Amino acid sequence: MSDVARTAGVSVATVSKVVNGRYGVAQATVERVQQVIHELGYEASLGAQSLRSHRTNVLGILVAEFEPFSTELLKGASREVAGSGYQLLAYSSGDGEGAAIGWERRSLARLSGTLIDGAVIVTPTVIETKDGFHVVAVDPHTGPSGLPTVDSDNFAGAVLATNYLLSLGHRRIGHISGRPDLESARLREAGFRRAMADADVPVDERIVRVGGFRVESAASTAAELLALPDRPTAIFAGNDLSAISTMDVARSMGLTVPDDLSVIGFDNVPESALVNPPLTTIMQPLQRMGAEALRLLIDLIAGVERDTHIRLPTELVVRASCRPYR
C-alpha cells in the first residue's frame, strides 16, 4: 500500500479505504488509486481478506499430481467457474507418484479457511473436513460415502470394454488392473470378470495382474504377460496410460498392435487419440466430471439442496488398437 500511496500521491490510509471499499474518499481519488493498483499489478492478500470477511471467493482443486486424468478434470472445472464469482486455485501436494495416504489432510490444513472457501479433491484417500468447510471428492478411494462425490460408471465401462473384445472373437483376454486401494480399479476388474462370466469364458488368473495405473508398473506387468508361452490375444488395461504402455512394450517385443495383440484402455485422455495406432478405449466424461464437481461445490457453499452423489455414464470409443481374433 505504501508503493500505491506514493505513486498515486495519497496517504496509505486512503489506499486502505479504497482497497477495503470504505466511505470517505472522492470518486476521482478512488479511480486514481485503482488505476495505480492495476498498473503496479497488485492484488489484495487472500489471507488478509479471509481474516476480515472469512471468505476469499477462491475454490481449490487438490490433486496428488498433475497427470492426464486430473488435468482433464481441471479443464472442465475451469470452464464451469467462469461467471460464478469465484476464482480457481489448482494445487498439487507435491507428493507425486506413490503419494502417501493423508496428502489431502495436509493440503486442506494449508489451504482451508485462509486461501480457499471449499475444495474439489481428486482421488482422495482419506478426508477429514472442518465444520462449515465444503469438500467434493472425485473418484474417491472408497467410492461414494457420506462425502459429496462425482465419479463415472466404472463397472459398466469395464463390461463394455470386455464385451467389445469378446465380440471380436477374443477369449484369452488379459486384464492389467489399477491400484488395489482404489474403488474405481476394483469396479473395473469386477466388470471385466462379470462380462467374462456372462459369456461363459473362464478367466485365467495368470493373465490378470496389477498395473497400478502407472506407466512404469504397467510396462513391467505387460512384459510379463506378453512373455508367457500362451500370452493373451487381447488386453483390457485399467486406464489409458497403462494401455499405451502396453502397446509400447508389445512393439519392443516385436509384436504389432492390433495384428498380434488387441489393446483397449479406459479414460479417453487426449493422449489416447494421438498414439499409433489410436487407442480404442472407454470414455469417462472427465471434463464434465470436473465441471459437475465444481458446480456441486458452489451449490453446497450456497446452501442449495441437491443430490450430492453424481455418477456419469461411460461410453465405448472405437479406434484402431483392436481387431477380430484370427
Check whether residue 119 and residue 219 sit in a common domain.
no
Check whether residue 158 and residue 116 sit in a common domain.
no
Residue 323: inside a domain: no
- Cβ atoms of residues 234 and 263 within 8 Å: yes
Residue 263 — very low, low, confident or very high, per pLDDT cuts 50/70/90? Answer: very high
Q: Tens digits of per-residue pLDDT, 142-200?
A: 766 678 999 999 999 999 999 999 999 999 999 999 988 889 999 999 999 999 999 99
Check whether residue 146 and residue 291 sit in a common domain.
yes
Average pLDDT, the chain: 90
Check whether residue 184 and residue 252 sit in a common domain.
yes
Q: What is the DSSP letter of 284?
A: P
Check whether residue 62 and residue 116 sit in a common domain.
yes
Cell of 288: 464434465
Q: How many domains does the chain have?
A: 3
Residue 305: inside a domain: yes
- Residue 7 belongs to domain with CATH number: 1.10.260.40
Residue 317: inside a domain: no
Q: Tens digits of per-residue pLDDT, 286-296?
A: 999 999 999 99
Give me the domain span that covers residue 196: 154-285
Distances (CA, A) of 67 to 63, 64, 74, 92: 9, 9, 11, 11
By mean pLDDT, which of 29-43, 57-71, 221-235 is the weakest? 29-43
Cα–Cα distance for residue pair 156/68, rounded to 1 Å: 22
**Per-residue buried b or exposed e for 235-272, using 16+ beta carbons within 10 Å of the residue's own CB:** bbbbbbbbbbbbbbbbeeeeeebbeebbbbbbbbbeeb
Residue 325: inside a domain: no
Q: Tens digits of per-residue pLDDT, 225-235?
A: 999 999 999 99
pTM of the model: 0.83
Q: Tens digits of per-residue pLDDT, 104-139?
A: 878 888 887 678 999 999 988 766 666 778 999 999
Check whether residue 89 and residue 137 sit in a common domain.
yes
* 94 vs 213: which has the higher pLDDT: 213
Mean pLDDT, residues 42-60 taken together? 65
pLDDT, residue 60, reads 95
Check whether residue 181 and residue 240 sit in a common domain.
yes
- Residue 182 belongs to domain with CATH number: 3.40.50.2300
pLDDT, residue 36, reads 87
Check whether residue 198 and residue 271 sit in a common domain.
yes
Mean pLDDT, residues 212-230 taken together? 96
Check whether residue 81 and residue 168 sit in a common domain.
no
Residue 96 — very low, low, confident or very high, per pLDDT cuts 50/70/90? Answer: low
Check whether residue 91 and residue 69 sit in a common domain.
yes
- Cβ atoms of residues 211 and 177 within 8 Å: yes
Residue 51 — very low, low, confident or very high, per pLDDT cuts 50/70/90? Answer: very low
Check whether residue 253 and residue 193 sit in a common domain.
yes
Check whether residue 277 and residue 229 sit in a common domain.
yes
